[in-house]
Structure 1
Amino acid sequence: MIPYGRQSLDQADIDAVMAVLQSDWLTQGPAIERFEQAMARRCQAGHAVAVCNATAALHIACLAAGLGPGDRLWTTPNTFLASANCGRYCGAQVDFVDIDPLTWNLDAVALAAKLEKAERNGTLPKVLVAVAFSGQSCDMREIARLSERYGFTVIEDASHAVGASYAGRPVGCGEFADMTVFSFHPVKIITSAEGGMVLTNRPELAQHLQRLRSHGMTRDAEQMSEPSHGPWYYQQVELGFNYRITDLQAALGLSQLNKLEGFIARRRELASRYNRLLNGLPLTLPGLQPEAESAWHLYVVRLRLDEISLDHRQVFEGLRAAGIGVNLHYIPVHLQPYYCDLGFAQGDYPQAERYYAEAISLPMFPSLSDEEQEYVVGQLQRLLEE
């Protein structure tokens, strides 16, 4: 089976993890800070805070933004559940903005219209989670402009976009978002097995994120309510969590980061080949945001169902039967039973729903060979021509 995504590990990665296993620090040690500093440098960001996964990163980013009961978080319905759930973890209401029919990202035009209405109704969001779906950023310049106009915090969920760029700068630099979240799950651009990170240019946010990932504790005398009792002393100054990443994970992540440029180059080569090989088939290929350079975590096509005889499920299952592990990213979040119980329903976000009825994620990972890719295209063409 050719999977839709797969980690790319080599001996250098194994050696990096082995070095930690043979060291004095398995967790809360120096490998974590080295990983954070390297990622901050790569993204031209002021601060990076590594955590156990990207869901945890989204959660503490929302808390650092002051999100709580009575507040509102908006995001896209075309995303993984965590982009919305992080708001619910904080006790906030969650709402959605429909997607751009070209890029399948959150639609900045729809966002502007919804914000204008929300201002009149007194229902403006406190946080917007702008998801860089498939590896390319939303229209972050316009989103940043709207955040200044309406006063909300922008968290870019760039779980798909490590190594991507926007407006000529690395995603994560903080020019258009208050905080940026990365994921290091095995199918993502680089992996730490499990892991996530929040990047920000605001030192007070970084300090808050560091406390939140480790039980709300501090050893910094300036953050304490009284003088230190001695070298052993710490204080819990707020309610936090055990969201710490281990040194084993951080060492793997840092080793993977050293190969990021090669991973991105191959993903872009594969995307270009898909564009060429699939041209002329009854498919809608990915649209590009003008200022974005995608990291191509996913390569998604949409079936032109009115031009083929098979339905969506038949094409999907036909590819699976041919040994191709296609996937579907994503089921619209507002159609999940949990969110339907909160009042959302079919028809609320028609662009996202139409996308879901047509989308298939094709295999995309650096070790995918040209021959495997050509097989994927050939099998898809066969099904579309039946």
Structure 2
Amino acid sequence: MNSIPYGRQHIDQDDIDAVVSTLQSDFLTQGPVVKQFEDQFSAYIGAKYAVAVSNATAGLHLANLALGLKKGDRIITTPITFAATANCARYCGAEVWFADIDSDTYLLSLESTRNLIESKPKGFFKGIIPVDFAGLPVNMEAFRALADEYNLWLIEDACHAPGGHFTDSKGTKQMCGNSNYADIGIFSFHPVKHIACGEGGMITTNSEALYKKLSMLRTHGITKENMVENHGGWFYEMQELGFNYRLTDIQSALGIKQLAKNKASVVRRNEIANNYKQAFNGKVKFQNLPDGNLNAHHLFVIEVEDRKGLYDYLRTHSIFAQIHYIPLHTLPYYKEIGYGSADLSHSENYYSKCISLPMYPTLTDDEQAFVIEKVLEFVNGK
């Protein structure tokens, strides 16, 4: 059996041809393919606007800036996420506060978030950043109600979840990141994610004002909209201090082809997840799937008592499982900046047991059967 990673991109000849075609075109960056990718992505997600960026971290940074986050402000997020989710607020000089996760879904707990908000004076926090962890959608309708109650903005970190959805109280399927409830959605195009662009990200929103702000901040704070007399096509204004967070046409060409395959990718990921669930049911704990949700399954996470033992055992059989994630509040940086003590016991307990098994569309049935066999061997003490 060849080595089996926890995640892997799939690039076929169609992808390669699209990139080569762009390399042979007039534009390698700042050309028409970027806008094509944005339009197709926004249509797929069901958002009015999409802004392509150099990576999801850049997207999170711009989202916080566009919503007015500044030094001295405070946001709430989950400790079970990649560091970028929290770091983006720190880039703005804001404080990051963590609420605990739900022990069954591994998502940011609405109850824990409410308790944290209500423990402080009204206006203490500015926003909430829930994460669709492992591809499982957060109930953004419920978080929207909480955010509105306390006048908070809402960013949905949907980096794990393009193609996933939850069902709202009206019975409507809400695609992850469509911004019908959140102010802004964020997606990642890192190679191990659903849509691989090498690097890249996308910001989605239904607000025209936020769209214009995000677009300007992405390109140095520059706009060409306000043409003045006696100036030609060269004219531009720098209205704010922005960044060079652009995505190239080369990456966008690859993204367009990858996006077209994502529906089938999510179907295959769920087939793999269902195989795992059938094999592990009653034997190994895995992430709960609430009714009406479609998990896009960037990851398939299980919990075992001897996580390090299983991690090492799988590696001896060339199965390269991974751990997602070390709780952010335990990392030296966040400890050193004076993050206060809090009851994040569900997050800490989850981390002590979690391990992510191989999950990607080209994982074969034989490879998955081998993974399942070795996990059960270890769990059963054979």
* Short-chain TM bin: over 0.9
The Cα of 1:228 is off from its aligned counterpart by 6.7
The Cα of 1:44 is off from its aligned counterpart by 1.2
| Aligned-partner Cα distance in 1 for 2:326–2:95 | 20
In structure 2, the residue matched to 1:36 is: 38
The Cα of 1:229 is off from its aligned counterpart by 2.5
TM-score scaled by length of structure 1: 0.94
Q: Is the 8 A contact 1:108 1:139 kept in 2?
A: no
In structure 1, the residue matched to 2:323 is: 328
Write the mapping of 1:190-201 to structure 2, written as runs, cut at 5 A.
190-201=195-206
The Cα of 1:348 is off from its aligned counterpart by 4.0
Write the mapping of 1:212-223 to structure 2, written as runs, cut at 5 A.
212-221=217-226
Q: 2:193 aligns with which of 183, 188, 210?
A: 188
Alignment-mate amino acid for residue 103 of structure 2? P
The Cα of 1:90 is off from its aligned counterpart by 0.3
Specify the SS of the correspondent of 1:182.
Answer: strand
Root-mean-square deviation (CA, aligned residues, Å) is: 1.3
Alignment-mate amino acid for residue 35 of structure 1? F
Q: 1:109 aligns with which of 102, 108, 111?
A: 111
Q: 1:153 and 2:153 equivalent?
A: yes
Alignment-mate amino acid for residue 312 of structure 2? E
| Aligned-partner Cα distance in 1 for 2:342–2:183 | 32
Q: 1:207 and 2:212 equivalent?
A: yes
In structure 2, the residue matched to 1:130 is: 130
Specify the SS of the correspondent of 2:256.
Answer: helix
In structure 1, the residue matched to 2:295 is: 294
Specify the SS of the correspondent of 2:119.
Answer: helix
Q: Is the 8 A contact 1:73 1:129 kept in 2?
A: yes
Alignment-mate amino acid for residue 293 of structure 1? L
Structure 2: gaps spanning 5 or more residues: 168-172
The Cα of 1:296 is off from its aligned counterpart by 0.6
Write the mapping of 1:343-362 to structure 2, written as runs, cut at 5 A.
343-344=338-339, 348-362=343-357
The Cα of 1:261 is off from its aligned counterpart by 1.0
| Aligned-partner Cα distance in 2 for 1:228–1:17 | 40
Q: Is the 8 A contact 2:82 2:325 kept in 1?
A: yes
| Aligned-partner Cα distance in 2 for 1:364–1:312 | 18
Q: Please list the CA deviations of residues 58-114 of structure 1 after superposition, one character each: whole Å capped at 9, or x if unmatched.
A: 000000000001111110000000000000000001101100011000001111222
The Cα of 1:289 is off from its aligned counterpart by 3.0
In structure 2, the residue matched to 1:342 is: 337
| Aligned-partner Cα distance in 2 for 1:246–1:156 | 24
Q: 1:47 aligns with which of 41, 46, 49?
A: 49
Alignment-mate amino acid for residue 135 of structure 1? G
| Aligned-partner Cα distance in 1 for 2:76–2:340 | 16
Q: Please list the CA deviations of residues 271-290 of structure 1 after superposition, one character each: whole Å capped at 9, or x if unmatched.
A: 01110011232x21111233
| Aligned-partner Cα distance in 2 for 1:345–1:5 | 35
In structure 2, the residue matched to 1:249 is: 251
Specify the SS of the correspondent of 1:199.
Answer: strand
Aligned pair count reads: 374
| Aligned-partner Cα distance in 1 for 2:174–2:229 | 43
Q: Is the 8 A contact 2:123 2:150 kept in 1?
A: no
TM-score scaled by length of structure 2: 0.95
Specify the SS of the correspondent of 1:240.
Answer: coil
Greater Cα offset, 284-293 or 58-67: 284-293
Change in CA separation of 1:91 and 1:285 when aligned onto 2, cut-off 3 Å: same
Q: 1:26 aligns with which of 28, 33, 50?
A: 28
